[in-house]
Amino acid sequence: MMTTSLKAMSESLKKSTSNACENLLTAEEQQEKINELRRLVGPLPDKLSCYCSDALISRHLRAWNWNINKATKMLKENLKWRLEYKPEEIRWDEVACEAETGKIYRSNYVDKHGRTVLVMRPSCQNSKSTSAQIRYLVYCMENAILNLPQNQEQMIWLIDFHGFNLSNISFKVSRETAHVLQVHYPERLGDAILYNPPKFFEPFYRLVKPFLEQKTANKVKFVYSDDPNTKKIMEDLFDIEQLDSAFGGKDNTGFDIHKYAERMREDDKRMASLVAAHRPVLTTDTCSNPTNSVSDSDASDEKVDKSSHGVNVEDFSPENDLPVPSGCSKPAGDAK
């Protein structure tokens, strides 16, 4: 049966959807907002200019319901983080020790929409370092984006709770994960499937949920193997023949660290080529969708502080919400 929390979350979603007052934006209006945000950000150093494509700016705007003021602030924070953290320069050998247990990995199958799938198994946690865990998560996010098809911007998170217990709960890591996802990878998550979470996980999720933007929280789906209603979520999203048996599918291949390492090293070569070519990981221009919307409440909040124009290298100070961690070995970016 569906749990009480799942019912409450579904009712909350229905209520928020029915009460929303939205104005549709035309493609032209969306492009005007994209151009305005780019103007507000101002000139960028060469190493960051490739991360200001129309598609990327559109994702920041969609994350904030096309509120230019909020989206500009988030994009600036994101660019600052990329300049310092250098996520595109993280390589497999730096984070391999975090991956040994298969706690996070990119599956060899996609969903029916062609979206990359990141499998997460929190019971396989093998590290006590928050910074190292986050750095590996960032590596996985960059890799998932690298492997998206040209017509797709989002990925799926499949979270397997088999063997999960209280010792696997970390409020700090969960909070940092939410920050990375929402601030540095806005609109990259399509769905987050929580598969067979134990009963004691529900109060923990209620503590974490306030750190999630409503749009992100709405993407979280609880699925239980003994509940036909929620199992249908998996059947609608995946080819059951390809889906891992841990999620009710028929594939018993499992995770092999040696084969996975080979895949990641090949992907590292592709990433290095993209970086050398001075291109963003994904520049798919799927931003001109007239069905996207902006709420009335946000429209009045778009008076942008004119003093915030322009982003220069000097503007990026060492302070950041996420410290640059050492990971398992010295980061590639520090070797220069």
Q: How far apart, in whole angstroms, are the C-alpha atoms of residue 319 and residue 315?
A: 11
Of 78, 49, 77, 86, which Cα lies nearest the Cα of 279?
49
Angle at 138 between CA 132 and CA 142, to 5 degrees: 145
Q: How far apart, in whole angstroms, are the C-alpha atoms of residue 104 and residue 137?
A: 8
Of 262, 267, 257, 259, which Cα lies nearest the Cα of 90?
267
**Both tokens assigned to 304:** 């942008």
Q: What percent of the chain has pLDDT over 70?
A: 76
CB 301 within 8 A of CB 294: no
Of 160, 91, 155, 153, which Cα lies nearest the Cα of 119?
160
Residue 24 pairs in a beta bridge with 293
**Both tokens assigned to 256:** 């092999």
Q: What is the dihedral of CA 179, 326, 254, 271, to 10 degrees?
A: 80
DSSP 251: B
CB 211 within 8 A of CB 178: yes
Q: What is the dihedral of CA 176, 119, 287, 77, to 10 degrees?
A: 20
pLDDT reported for residue 279: 53
The CATH number of the domain covering residues in 88-270: 3.40.525.10
pLDDT at residue 19 is higher than 50: no
Q: Phi and psi of 306, rounded to 5°?
A: -65, -20
pLDDT in tens, 166-215: 888 888 998 899 899 999 999 999 999 999 999 888 888 888 888 888 88
Q: How far apart, in whole angstroms, are the C-alpha atoms of residue 331 and residue 43?
A: 28
Amino acid occupying residue 77: E
- For the segment 44-68, the average pLDDT, to the nearest whole number, is 90
CB 170 within 8 A of CB 128: no
pLDDT band at 278 (very low <50, low <70, confident <90, very high): low
pLDDT band at 268 (very low <50, low <70, confident <90, very high): very high
pLDDT reported for residue 28: 94
Q: Provide the mean pLDDT of the chain.
A: 80
pLDDT band at 44 (very low <50, low <70, confident <90, very high): confident
Is the pLDDT higher at 12 or at 213?
A: 213
Of 59, 63, 68, 58, which Cα lies nearest the Cα of 37?
68
DSSP 244: B
Using alpha carbons, list the distances in angstroms from residue 261 to 94, 137, 298: 12, 16, 45
Amino acid occupying residue 173: V
Q: Is the pTM of this model over 0.85?
A: no
pLDDT in tens, 108-160: 999 999 999 999 999 999 999 999 999 999 999 999 999 999 989 999 999 99
CB 332 within 8 A of CB 94: yes
pLDDT in tens, 47-57: 788 888 999 99
**Dihedral sign, CA of 198, 203, 209, 211?**
negative
pLDDT in tens, 289-304: 333 434 333 433 444 4
Using alpha carbons, list the distances in angstroms from residue 118 to 68, 80, 217: 31, 26, 18
pLDDT reported for residue 248: 94
Q: What is the dihedral of CA 256, 178, 148, 289, to 10 degrees?
A: 160
Other beta carbons within 10 angstroms of residue 104's beta carbon come to 24
pLDDT in tens, 226-263: 999 898 999 999 999 999 999 999 999 999 999 999 99
